[in-house]
Structure 1
């Protein structure tokens, strides 16, 4: 399987660095362990992997290559946000039962042998407590887990007020998964190899200051007042400045300043594959909750590979610079650098 990583890197126009090569070797070993266990139906499940490191170092790319090359029918790859949306919906049906968490995990995963969590991060203490129960159910079922993250396990739920609540889950992760750091010197999102395939997300534009002329040059007609619409999201109304086929146009303060959740963003991403978000301020001047919602929105749209046009009042580095910003702001900035800023 190690050859699969080398071939995929060549096809993408780069060579594996030392950190990626070490992670690829460990992933290849896990692949041999998982397929060998399937073949002989013997022994405990192999240790999973927790692959972490700075943004843009190839963590998700490595696990995607591994997933595609792994000849295992009972596998599933899911973004962390997506899994939790599904889990909460299923858990609600079983919540009156004593083993509701176990039943929800069993319903979601069935006979899944290998589960991939991409972008594993925990900031909400409520989610953190439930995640501990979910992971316990996964490991009790003998499911092997592979996760990617920008944080080491000990760095999850970093808020010192709540961190101690997650320490038992951190110990569970460290006992159940081998920790692999991918921290090479190159940020592959910023320094994209020439000739590599461009994502749909990366075809979006960062428009500053977003004059009507700039918008029209990007193929965007500014919305009129009579295009405003109320969209139902989870039983609540969210205001859009325009809805045009698969495109939705929002104002930053109306979308991120409202009590929208990541689950709401996922539901909207189910309906629209092209987005315009206008009125992006300097995040240091926005309240912390709005800035965090914006970071969550970028996560969702990037992982759904939806096209995003951002209309901002300041250059990207200034808009996402300053103090009191979301903990994941470096990941957000790395992703937004994929947008065309010409």
Structure 2
């Protein structure tokens, strides 16, 4: 039984992750462990959602049972690659996870853009290509275009995988203010991977963020005392709850490679932080984004004392180059902050 008087602290954890574990972890995250095309519920007000589901379902069937080679015909090429373009919370990750499940873990690899770049750093580029080339599908969630070096690296990786006959499916986000302006993110994506652009079919998925209808969580802040009480209640019920100070946690994240953030929060039923205040440092903000993504993957409830979720990033950060990541983090963290206590 957890001791309510001495909750777990993330700053006491220093996880180690091997290259083999990173490769084995290229599967849909726990929150989408049971995702399927049938469990994706399109919004009738946005027909593009149902169209995207059927296109992904068709792609899965073509990957699982490709057309057979005829007596006088060459083997058919792999199915065309897809790029899903849309705003936050329209179900792109759900569809991508459903595709990976339909193809199967032996023939597919699923990860975020950041996880693939971490994988290349851990095992080396050639080894990464060799490990992924035998998959029929490589799925890349949250393709990011704000780091030129990482974008060039991923473009090269995708080109080599495509040459090996791997079908690629990527998702990315359109900024809330860019919705309705056409394929805003898609144009950026295709320009950056121009050597592969002809292979990608772009599908736009319209709709509102199912997590947050206005794109950002409400400005309702908890007190530090309320957060501590939530930890005591969760621990008393047998849940594994962590409690950390905001400044200490941000400093701890700087000491751990982001590829280990998933293991940092594994096994937790609640993550609580006191003394939360607005950030205005992109290095700190980007580390927080990765932590939020790993918490969201695991569907771990979060409680923040001090600043409200909506006020975590400064106005400057929400108007500059990394704003897509910050808006995604706000959307996801807002959802986790609303999860019931374990």
TM-score, structure 1 as length reference? 0.68
Residue pair 2:109, 2:135 contacting (<8 A) in 1 also:
yes
Shift of 1:78: 2.2
Shift of 1:77: 2.0
- Say if 2:47 is the partner of 1:18: yes
Q: Which residue of 1 aligns with 2:57?
A: 28
Q: Which residue of 1 aligns with 2:114?
A: 81
- Say if 2:221 is the partner of 1:190: no
The whole-number CA distance in structure 2 between the counterparts of 1:31 and 1:56 is 22
- Say if 2:103 is the partner of 1:103: no
Aligned pairs for 1:47-58 (under 5 A) are: 47-58=80-91
- Structure 2 gaps of 5+ residues are 1-35, 175-184, 214-218
The whole-number CA distance in structure 2 between the counterparts of 1:22 and 1:132 is 27
Q: Secondary structure at the match of 2:171?
A: strand
Aligned pairs for 1:136-151 (under 5 A) are: 136-151=159-174
Shift of 1:117: 1.3
Q: Secondary structure at the match of 1:102?
A: helix
Residue pair 2:241, 2:270 contacting (<8 A) in 1 also:
yes
Q: Secondary structure at the match of 1:253?
A: helix
Task: Please point out which of 127, 141, 146 is paired with 1:118.
Answer: 141
Aligned pairs for 1:1-342 (under 5 A) are: 5=37, 7-9=38-40, 17-37=46-66, 39-40=68-69, 42-70=75-103, 74-91=107-124, 101-107=125-131, 109=132, 111-151=134-174, 152-155=185-188, 167=191, 169-184=192-207, 186-190=208-212, 208-219=221-232, 247-257=241-251, 259-260=254-255, 261-270=257-266, 274-283=270-279, 286-305=280-299, 307-320=300-313, 322-325=315-318, 326-327=322-323, 328-338=325-335, 339-340=337-338
Q: 1:341 to 1:113 in 2, by over 3 A?
A: closer
Shift of 1:301: 1.6
Shift of 1:15: 5.4
- Structure 1 gaps of 5+ residues are 92-100, 157-165, 192-205, 223-243
Root mean square deviation of aligned Cα? 3.4
TM-score, structure 2 as length reference? 0.68
Q: 1:39 to 1:207 in 2, by over 3 A?
A: farther
Shift of 1:8: 2.1
The whole-number CA distance in structure 1 between the counterparts of 2:145 and 2:245 is 27
Residue pair 1:59, 1:148 contacting (<8 A) in 2 also:
yes
Q: Which residue of 2 aligns with 1:94?
A: none
Q: 1:267 to 1:133 in 2, by over 3 A?
A: farther
Aligned pair count?
277
Shift of 1:61: 1.4
Residue pair 1:53, 1:150 contacting (<8 A) in 2 also:
yes
The whole-number CA distance in structure 2 between the counterparts of 1:245 and 1:150 is 34
Q: 1:267 to 1:71 in 2, by over 3 A?
A: closer
**Which one has more relative contact order, counting CA pairs under 8 Å at least 6 apart?**
2
Q: 1:247 to 1:127 in 2, by over 3 A?
A: farther
Q: 1:213 to 1:278 in 2, by over 3 A?
A: closer
Residue pair 1:114, 1:145 contacting (<8 A) in 2 also:
yes
Residue pair 2:227, 2:304 contacting (<8 A) in 1 also:
no
Shift of 1:257: 4.5
Residue pair 2:239, 2:269 contacting (<8 A) in 1 also:
no
